[in-house]
Every structure is written in C-alpha cells, then in structure tokens.
A and B are shown apart, each in its own frame.
Chain A
Amino acid sequence: MLMNRKKAISAAAWILGVALFWEGIAHILSDVAKNPTAKQALPALEVILRSLFKNGFFLGDLWVTVSRAGIGFLLGVTLGFLFAVLISLSNLLEKVAYPYLLLSQMIPVLGLAPIFSTILRDNGATRIAICAFLTFFPVTTNTLAGLKAVERAQKDLLTSYAAGKPTVYIKLMVPASLGSLFSGAKIAAPMAVTAAVIVDSLGGQNGLGSRMLYALGGGILDVFWACVVIGALTGILSFVLVGMLERLVMPYKFDKSLLGIRKKAVRETGAAAEAGR
C-alpha cells in the first residue's frame, strides 16, 4: 500500500514535470525565440486542452474508431487463440504456418489497408479486418509459448486419469496459457487502436484519423493536436483496460495469498503424480 502511494506520487510528479516542460518549450519557442511556426510545431498545452473540452473530446469520432478497433481486436484475439491451440496440436501445422505468421508482420499496414479495402469494399470492414490482422500475431505467438510451457508431469497426470485431449486442454492447457494470452493482448491492444486510426486516415468519412488529417489540411492546428492527444490516451487506456481484465479473470496472478493456494494445489498434484509413478 505504502509502495503504491509512493509510486502514484512519483508518476504524478513525472506527468507534472513533462507538462511543465512542454508548456515551457512552447512558450519559449513562440514568445522568446519568436519562431513564426511555433504554434504549429508545438502549441501550448492549454490550447490543446481548451480545444479538447470545446469539441467534447471528439466522442463521436472516437466511438467510430474505438468500436471498430475493439471488434477487430476481439476477433483477432479469438482467432489468434484458436490458431495457437491448433498449432500446439499439430507439429506439421506449426512448421508450415510459423514462417508465414512472421512474414505477415513485415507487410506494411499502409499497403495492406488499400488492398483489404478493394477486396472488402467497405471502410468499416477494412478497419475491423486490419485490426484483427495486427492483433492476431502477438496473441498467437504468446499463447503458443504459454501452451508449450505447460509442465509435462501435469499433462501426464491428467492422461493417467484417462482424460482425453479436450479435457486436458480445457482443464489444464487453456487455464495455464491465459497469462501469456493476456501478455499478447496487452501488446496488441494499442496496436489495434493505432491501426484503426491509420485506416481512418486513408479516406474514411469519420473517425479520429480522418478528423485529424482534415484538421491538419484545414490548418486547424489545435483540433489536430487535440486529436493526437486523444489518440495517444486511447492507446494507453486500451493497454490499461486489458490489464484490468487480466486482473479480473486471473486474480491469482496478482494476489500473493491466492497464488499460495494455487501453488499448493500444483504441488499436491505434482506429489500425486510422483506417488502415482
């Protein structure tokens, strides 16, 4: 508890420090150095904040972007998880698919998005597809690592109880890999938000990205900067949200006392496995 308060204070100090630094640089640029483009390059923080409140935090555009990113993210997590389970079942599939999974990460999103949009012919669907595509890889690789890290003795124990593959997966493998699944999801969530913003900007009528670029084109710099800040905050928030969900789904990973119970249970099953041999 004490540690937490200390952490919170230091975080607040850093946020304040950065804000002051920003404000200082902005004022030095525009007032002291008399740089004519300063208001465009780095407007003062208060200008951005005022614009944020004036425009109601861009809730309408934000919703368009975030809802698409969210659907794509969920789709990507589901598919990525299922694919990881499939790969863990088949050595052959792993060998064939893994290099292509890696290769798929090298395809530039900006090239992919127009290709998806010519094939899907719908901007909303393209956004969802791209977000799902980007979410897929981190979730698959992380979940797969989690599935592979399950101890052999635990699997053997279940098999010795005549448990079939589905039972082993439902009772052991899937719960054991949840932590890795969340690690992957935490990497993927901000990526999905960024990707949705990119696809917005490629010619959508609404959404944070298109609002951002329209503001830029029209020279309304405070709106542009406000969109940037909202976009960044949304990315961070998505990471935090997935983290909170993780706490909700697997409290034993965070609560040391619960962990003790779990560890004991694991020890006991391990001992039972030893005794069984």
Chain B
Amino acid sequence: MKLEMKSKKLKNGMLTVLLPVLFGVFLLLLWRFKALHALLGLNESQLPYLENIWVFIKNGGDGTARITVNVKSTLAVVFLGLIIGSLLGYFVAVIAALFPKSKGVLTVLAAFNAIPVVALAPIMGRWFPQSAQVAKVAIAAILCLVPMSVNAYRGLTELKPYSQDLLKSYAASKTQIFLKLKLPNSVPHIFTALKLCVVSAMIGAIIGEYYISGPMIGIGKVIRNDLKGGRLTSGWSHVLIATLIGALLYAAVLLFEKYTVRAVNAVKTRMTERTVGKRTNG
C-alpha cells in the first residue's frame, strides 16, 4: 500500500517535470524551424533565429559583448544588493517589532517603495557620484529592503496565540523571548521575502545598469545598447541569460529554504522532546 503510494507520487513528480519540459522543447522547435516567425508574421530583425542565439551564447559573446564579463558584473551587484538590502530590511523589522511605536517606519518604507524604479536610478546616480557600481548596488538594496522588512516583521510579530504569554510566565527575559520564539518564527517569512528579493535585486541591478551612465559593462547596459543599436541576437541572448540567472537564483533560494526549514523543525522537535522527557521524568 505504502509502496504503491510512493510509486504514484514518483510518477506524479516525473510528470510535473516532464510535461513542462516537453512543452518547452516544442516551443523551441517551433522557433528553430521558423514556424514561430511564420505564425506571428515576424522577420529576423524582429525575432532573431534560435541558431544564431545559440551560436552567440556558445561562443561566449562576440567582439563587442563578452557574456562572462557582463554576467560577473551584474551578479556582483545582485549579491551585494541582496545581502545589504535584506540585512537592513531585517534590522528595520526587528526595530519595529521591539518598539511598537516605531511601526510607522514600515508604512513610510512602503510609501517610498512606490517611487518608480526608473526615477530611483538617476537619484542614486546623483547620491553616489563616485562609483556607478555603488549606485547600482544601492538600487538593488533599496528594492530588497521593503519586501524583507514587511515579511520579517510579520514573522516576528504573528506568533502562535499565548506562546509569548507562556514564555513570560516562565520568567523568560525579553532577549530570551526574542531569541527562542520570535527569531525562529520569522525564518519561514525570511524565505518568503528572499524569493521576492532575488527577483527585485535582479530588476534593480539591470535597471541600474540601464540608466546610470558608467562603464560599458553589465547585462542591463548590453541590453540597452544592443536592442537600440539593432544587435538583436546579442540583446536577446542577454535577455535570455538574465531570465535564466533569475530562475536559478530563485531555485537556489527554494533549495536553501527546504534545508533550513527542515533544520529549524528538527531543532524544534528536539527541544519539545527534551521538555516532554523532562516532564515525564520529573
């Protein structure tokens, strides 16, 4: 019975992977044999041929744009922005959770989040005129700040009913309540935020590269020059690569989440077992 269920589950899982892959291959074949061009009434100057994109990526770019150089530059911005923005966001959430009077900070941040990103880029360019790279990181960090602070705040404050009262009745100090109850409770919410942040950081990095004048480097810069200058194959290749990087980062967060949440749960059960054991012994 159990085995049957397991095999059914496995079959289901395989289908979940297989079906989308088949669909993707089907689309690529349509593109490769120009059926997509015929179907949408497009020519090569609107939708480049798949084999040209493939050759471009396989060669690692061409004389004007080297893929690895651009990817490295963009990834550096994304990671730095992600780390700085998430840490700051979590810090703000902790402050807001510890001092309820400062809760309004979150609303103010959310309001600032409504500033169009296009405007954010030139502003940051002016705030950090020394280095375009720093300005880009700042944009990515700001875009991460809000999702992280809002979600982390939710995790730090939406506790199980009576759990805080219980700890208080054990004469737990504020630090203990924070470390043993609020912090672990916020972990799943951190991951919800990180999933949003990864996408935001990527958007921020690319928009920063697009609008901030600086050295000719980064995926956003290349996309801008290529799509404006009619180098469609290179432009499309970089758009595809950016999409792929976004998806990979997202998948990485998912994996990281799976293992961390599992670890946190393991610690939790161990703690409960210990207290239950103590109680039965005593």
Contact = CB atoms under 8 A, between A and B. Distances in A.
A111 B223 contact: yes
Interface string B226-244: 0110001001101100111
Contacts of A108: 202-203, 206, 219-220, 223, 239, 242-243, 246
B65 to A, nearest CB: 14
B117 interface: yes
A135 to B, nearest CB: 16
Contact of A232 (B114, B126, B203, B223): B114
B39 interface: no
A107 B242 contact: yes
B129 interface: yes
Contact of A235 (B20, B114, B126, B236): B114
B129 to A, nearest CB: 7
A100 B243 contact: no
Interface in B207-263: 207, 210, 219-220, 223-224, 227-228, 232, 235-236, 238-239, 242-247, 250
Given A111-B239, A114-B227, A115-B236, A228 B115 contact: yes
Nearest to A231: B116
A181 interface: no
Interface residues of B, number: 51
A4 interface: no
Given A111-B223, A119-B47, A92 B127 contact: no
A236 B114 contact: yes
B77 to A, nearest CB: 13
A236 B118 contact: no
B76 interface: no
Given A37-B129, A108-B203, A115-B236, A96 B223 contact: no
B122 A209 contact: no
A98 B20 CA distance: 8
**Quick one: which of A11, A103, A208, A212 has the most chain B CB within 10 A?**
A103
B46 A118 contact: yes
Q: Which size bracket describes the interface of A in this complex?
A: 35 or more
Given A41-B126, A114-B228, A10 B40 contact: no
B10 to A, nearest CB: 15
Interface string A83-111: 00000000010011111101101111111
Interface in A120-143: none
B114 to A, nearest CB: 4
B117 A14 contact: no
A40 interface: yes
A104 B113 CA distance: 22
A119 B127 CA distance: 37
A216 interface: yes
Contacts of A102: 247, 250
Interface string B99-137: 000001001100110111111001100110100000000
Contacts of B207: 110, 198
B117 A198 contact: yes
Nearest to A227: B119
B168 to A, nearest CB: 26
A213 B120 CA distance: 12
A231 B115 contact: yes
B96 interface: no
B107 A11 contact: yes
Nearest to A40: B126
Given A14-B108, A232-B116, A235-B116, A111 B235 contact: yes
Contacts of A59: none
B152 to A, nearest CB: 18
B223 A110 contact: yes
Given A108-B239, A111-B242, A119-B40, A103 B247 contact: yes
**Quick one: which of A10, A41, A96 has the most chain B CB within 10 A?**
A96
Contact of B118 (A41, A99, A190, A201): A201
27 contacts: A10-B104, A13-B104, A41-B123, A95-B19, A99-B20, A103-B243, A106-B247, A108-B203, A108-B206, A108-B219, A108-B242, A110-B220, A111-B238, A114-B223, A115-B239, A118-B232, A119-B40, A119-B42, A119-B47, A198-B116, A198-B207, A208-B116, A209-B118, A212-B119, A232-B114, A233-B114, A239-B114
Interface of A: 10-11, 13-14, 18, 37, 40-41, 92, 95-100, 102-103, 105-112, 114-115, 118-119, 190, 193-194, 197-198, 201, 208-209, 212-213, 216, 224, 227-228, 231-233, 235-236, 239
Closest 6 CB pairs of A and B: A106-B246, A111-B239, A235-B114, A114-B227, A228-B119, A14-B104
Interface of B: 15-16, 19-20, 23-24, 40, 42, 45-47, 104, 107-108, 111-112, 114-119, 122-123, 126-127, 129, 199, 202-203, 206-207, 210, 219-220, 223-224, 227-228, 232, 235-236, 238-239, 242-247, 250
